[in-house]
Copies of this chain bind each other. A is one copy, B any other.
C-alpha cells in the first residue's frame, strides 16, 4: 500500500506515519500524497488512486492560485478525475523547523460512493414528484449577488469592468435560473451588475434575439 522514494527522504520519514494513518482511516476511497514543493515532484503516495509514483511531477501548480484559508490549509475543493469520479481535496503546507515550506500534503477523497449512498437513502420510498425543500429561495437577492460574484472572480475583474459579452453571459445564467420570474428582480439584478435598468432590458432583449436566431 505504501509507496515512497527509495532513498528515504527525511521528510518522508517525518510525515509517513501521518499519511499512512489518514490513508488507513479513510479506507480505500482516499489517497494521500506528499509533494516536494521545490522540485514539484511526488515524494510518496499512500493508497494511490491515480497511478502516481514518487518522482512523478506533482502538477499542483494551481495550488498558489487558490486563496489560502489561513494556516496553510487549502480546500476542500473539488477535483475531477478523468474517469468522472469526483474528489474532495484538501492540502496542507508542511513547514520545517525554520518555518520554511518543505512539503505539501494532499488528501483526495473519492466522493462517488458517498454520493451514491446518499442518493440511495434519499430516494428510499421517495414520492416520485415533489421535492421537499423550501418552495422558493427566500433571499434570492443574496443568491443573485453570489452568482455575479463568482462570475467576477472567474473573470478576475471587478463588476464595473466587465465587458458586454460577460454581462450577457451572467444575465443568461440568471435568466435560465428563472430569476426574472420573481418580483422586483430587475432592479436588483441591474444593481448587482452595475448597469442601468434600461441596459438590463436591452441586454435581455439581445439574449432573446440570440435564442430566436438559433
Q: Give the chain B neighbours of A128 by CB distance below 8 A.
A: 76
Chain A residues with CB under 8 Å of chain B are 75-78, 86, 88, 109, 111, 114-115, 117-119, 121-122, 124-130, 132, 134-138, 140, 143, 146-147, 150, 174, 177-179, 181-183
Instruction: Let me know if A76 and B127 touch, CB within 8 A.
Output: yes
Chain B CB within 10 A, most for which of A77, A117, A129: A129
The reply to whether B146 and A129 contact each other, CB–CB distance below 8 Å, is: yes
When the two chains form the complex, which single residue of B77, B86, B137 contacts A135, counting CB atoms closer than 8 Å? B137
Q: Beyond the given A76-B126, A78-B129, A114-B121, could you list 13 further A-B residue pairs with CB under 8 A, ordered by the A residue number?
A: A76-B127, A88-B125, A88-B126, A114-B122, A114-B125, A115-B121, A115-B132, A117-B121, A118-B121, A135-B177, A136-B136, A136-B137, A136-B178
- A209 to B174: give the CA distance in the assembly, Å: 35
- Asked if A127 and B75 sit within 8 Å, CB to CB, the answer is yes
Q: List 5 A-B contacts (CB under 8 A).
A: A76-B128, A77-B129, A115-B122, A121-B121, A136-B181
Chain B residues lying within 8 Å of A125, measured Cβ to Cβ, are: 76, 88, 109, 111, 114
Q: Say which residue of B122, B124, B182 sits within 8 Å of A181 (CB atoms).
A: B182
Chain B's nearest CB lies how many Å from the CB of A144?
Answer: 8
A114 to B126, CA, bound (A): 10
Contacts of A147 in B (CB 8 A): 135
A111 touches B135 (CB 8 A): no
* Pair A111/B88 contact, Cβ less than 8 Å: no
Contact residue among B77, B127, B182 (Cβ-Cβ distance under 8 Å from A136): B182
